[in-house]
Chain A
């Protein structure tokens, strides 16, 4: 009898423990916890490495984006991207056929959407969802973190470093981003975006690291929406070509229909 009771207690304890693990609160890391053995300069170079590992300065790419939401049909897009200097990008949907020809243009923090049947481009709000995904337009627009965030290294696990990015100004989208980065390759593996009140808003996972366009880069990215159970968007890099230049007219809002 004692053995049965003991086993029962153990089982109950195990379940309570599992539940507690599941409900573990995600807290932002305090920048004051910065590891002193890593200098600020190293943190800056690591952040630059992270930015560089994402995309080249000027590139053409093809990406697949799939958004999953509970109880809804998955939304799948394939689009071609032309990007120049992190501030100009043009995305054109090539799949599915019904959305083919739709374009999204980013120029200096302004976002425009061009729909073939509508003569004028539509201006998009930064906090709107990007094509029904868990990315917001500003997540797409702010492709480099170096200008907006102060980095520090706040934790270390084997070959991984926790890079804590603190917003430099009040007008930066997220108050803090905590991102685990491979020490050697400077490729990120996962990150958490925090709002002004230090609550986590989104989680991002990077995977399938391969050398492409001269650097090791994560080809897959998964953005998890913490506001909606089971909602996430997978982005797969299908092709990436580094380019020497892209003519400026490609990023002209008045030329989107051509």
Chain B
């Protein structure tokens, strides 16, 4: 590495302060935007993934193997015959935390004045409390016992104007497709901060669901929680082994299969934000290319002189490349420093979104908190340096290709 060339490049940048500050500002803005964007995207999806696991999918779900192809219809006849026995068979797997049987079926909830479509979920309250975070904020007096009772979400209770103690009607079909309608007492109202679920999903005791759906002890799914989602591949293999040995009619699906929509949404978002950022970087490349090209024209005579006193074409090329690298690195470092208070605020406090926006969110999360790691800065520096080099290549080649005699004719200013 020729430090003299770097020094000349640095001196050139100092000499053209105004232009240098403008270029550094461009890179600083790009670096700042990239770090914030990376943190917000990771934070949003990490929260969405964790909350989806905690509220909806668990780390795994076990189903009857024929259930998945008809999952949209929520068939009750494709069921797990003895769910508690299956839970006992898997509970000794390492990293296992808890599992709970469920019966899930679409239906209608009515207060005799209004009705609404809902997803009726039969749950074993004790096991559900250990397996999901659904009822973490639920008052203990609202816990479902084994009576003919129901829990509805805060949003649904507001829409239907019902309060605990009210009598409601639930309507659905049994596993034999016979219509059923029953009076239920509204035991309590749950609040999870995810409007879609609060409006759509109602919970009834597992034993009551057995009678209501005529299930004879069966469940439509078993939801399983482990201690960390990093162990999902390992635990999945263990569960598959047990199911293969004892319950060939059952299959296990992990949370990524259950939350396919969320994963696809995350990927689509990363791609669209990636495109946005590529445009930002393209602008940075164009700006640096433009600036350095102008510099090459302005410094033609200077380049001729440098060539005349012995600098090779390669050294001239490197001089301009170093100018690009120094500009981008300088900008990235400044951007990386300027972003610190913003990142600190977003990582600690997050952004409060208006309730109307939160209600329309298809994913469950409580607040928009960023999640930045030190690697984000390294990644940003790397991207900025590459951008700087790309932006400097053409002007550097042009400078290297300058004819010495023609350049000297212009005279040194």
| A227-B110, A229-B112 as given contacts; A173 in contact with B179, CB under 8 Å | yes
Q: Give Cα A126 to B113, complex, Å.
A: 24
**B183 CB–A CB distance under 8 Å:** yes
Smallest CB gap from A174: residue in B: B179
- Provide the residues of chain A in CB contact with B178, threshold 8 Å: 167, 170-175, 195-196
| A228-B114, A228-B115, A229-B114 as given contacts; A197 in contact with B180, CB under 8 Å | yes
Q: Give Cα A200 to B180, complex, Å.
A: 9
- Provide the residues of chain B in CB contact with A175, threshold 8 Å: 178-179
Count how many pairs of residues, one from A and one from B, have CB atoms less than 8 Å apart in the complex: 67
B248 to chain A, nearest CB (A): 27
Q: Chain A's interface: helix, strand, loop or mixed, by majority?
A: loop
- Provide the residues of chain A in CB contact with B179, threshold 8 Å: 127, 173-175, 193, 195-196, 201
**Cβ–Cβ contact A197 & B181, under 8 A:** yes
**A102 CB–B CB distance under 8 Å:** no
**Cβ–Cβ contact A170 & B174, under 8 A:** yes
| A125-B73, A227-B112, A228-B110 as given contacts; A201 in contact with B181, CB under 8 Å | yes
- Which of chain B's residues 99-130 have a Cβ closer than 8 Å to chain A? 108, 110, 112-115
**Cβ–Cβ contact B176 & A227, under 8 A:** no
- Interface centre among B180, B183, B212, by most chain A C-beta atoms within 10 angstroms, is B180
B118 to chain A, nearest CB (A): 12
Q: Give Cα A127 to B173, complex, Å.
A: 8
| A170-B176, A171-B176 as given contacts; A229 in contact with B182, CB under 8 Å | no
Smallest CB gap from A229: residue in B: B113
- Interface centre among B110, B177, B182, by most chain A C-beta atoms within 10 angstroms, is B177
- Which of chain A's residues 201-232 have a Cβ closer than 8 Å to chain B? 201, 225-229
- Provide the residues of chain B in CB contact with A229, threshold 8 Å: 112-114
Residue in A125, A199, A228 whose CB lies within 8 Å of B181: A199
**B169 CB–A CB distance under 8 Å:** yes
Q: Give Cα A172 to B73, complex, Å.
A: 18
**Cβ–Cβ contact A171 & B169, under 8 A:** no
Q: Give Cα A174 to B115, complex, Å.
A: 20
B388 to chain A, nearest CB (A): 52
- Provide the residues of chain B in CB contact with A193, threshold 8 Å: 179
Fill in one digit per residue for B221-247: 1 if any A CB lies within 8 Å of its CB, else 0.
Answer: 000000000000000000000000000
- Provide the residues of chain A in CB contact with B171, threshold 8 Å: 195, 201, 227
B381 to chain A, nearest CB (A): 51
- Provide the residues of chain A in CB contact with B172, threshold 8 Å: 127
- Provide the residues of chain B in CB contact with A225, threshold 8 Å: 115
B74 to chain A, nearest CB (A): 10
- Provide the residues of chain A in CB contact with B181, threshold 8 Å: 195-197, 199-201, 227
**B359 CB–A CB distance under 8 Å:** no
B203 to chain A, nearest CB (A): 19
Residue in B114, B169, B214 whose CB lies within 8 Å of A170: B214
Smallest CB gap from B179: residue in A: A195
Smallest CB gap from A225: residue in B: B115
- Provide the residues of chain A in CB contact with B115, threshold 8 Å: 225, 227-228
B289 to chain A, nearest CB (A): 49
| A227-B110, A229-B112 as given contacts; A197 in contact with B182, CB under 8 Å | yes
Smallest CB gap from B175: residue in A: A170
Q: Give Cα A174 to B174, complex, Å.
A: 11
Smallest CB gap from A175: residue in B: B178
- Provide the residues of chain A in CB contact with B183, threshold 8 Å: 199
- Provide the residues of chain B in CB contact with A199, threshold 8 Å: 169, 181-183
Smallest CB gap from A127: residue in B: B173
A180 to chain B, nearest CB (A): 21
- Which of chain B's residues 139-172 have a Cβ closer than 8 Å to chain A? 169, 171-172
A124 to chain B, nearest CB (A): 11
- Provide the residues of chain A in CB contact with B110, threshold 8 Å: 227-228
Q: Give Cα A77 to B232, complex, Å.
A: 52
B104 to chain A, nearest CB (A): 15
- Provide the residues of chain B in CB contact with A227, threshold 8 Å: 108, 110, 112, 115, 169, 171, 181
- Provide the residues of chain A in CB contact with B173, threshold 8 Å: 126-127
A146 to chain B, nearest CB (A): 18
- Provide the residues of chain A in CB contact with B180, threshold 8 Å: 195-197
B199 to chain A, nearest CB (A): 17
- Which of chain A's residues 145-192 have a Cβ closer than 8 Å to chain B? 167, 169-175
Residue in A127, A172, A196 whose CB lies within 8 Å of B214: A196
A48 to chain B, nearest CB (A): 23
B2 to chain A, nearest CB (A): 67
Fill in one digit per residue for A220-251: 1 if any B CB lies within 8 Å of its CB, else 0.
Answer: 00000111110000000000000000000000
Q: Give Cα A225 to B114, complex, Å.
A: 11
- Provide the residues of chain A in CB contact with B212, threshold 8 Å: 197
Fill in one digit per residue for B177-210: 1 if any A CB lies within 8 Å of its CB, else 0.
Answer: 1111111000000000000000000000000000
B370 to chain A, nearest CB (A): 42
Q: Give Cα A138 to B181, complex, Å.
A: 16
A139 to chain B, nearest CB (A): 10
Smallest CB gap from B171: residue in A: A227
- Provide the residues of chain B in CB contact with A126, threshold 8 Å: 173, 177
Q: Give Cα A158 to B176, complex, Å.
A: 38
Q: Which 3 A-B pairs have the closest CB atoms?
A: A227-B110, A195-B181, A170-B176
**15 A-B contacts (beta carbon < 8 Å):** A170-B214, A172-B178, A174-B178, A174-B179, A195-B179, A195-B181, A196-B180, A196-B214, A197-B180, A199-B182, A227-B108, A227-B110, A227-B169, A227-B181, A229-B113
Given contacts A174-B179, A196-B174, A225-B115, 9 further A-B contacts (CB under 8 A): A127-B172, A127-B177, A167-B178, A170-B214, A171-B178, A195-B178, A195-B180, A201-B171, A228-B115
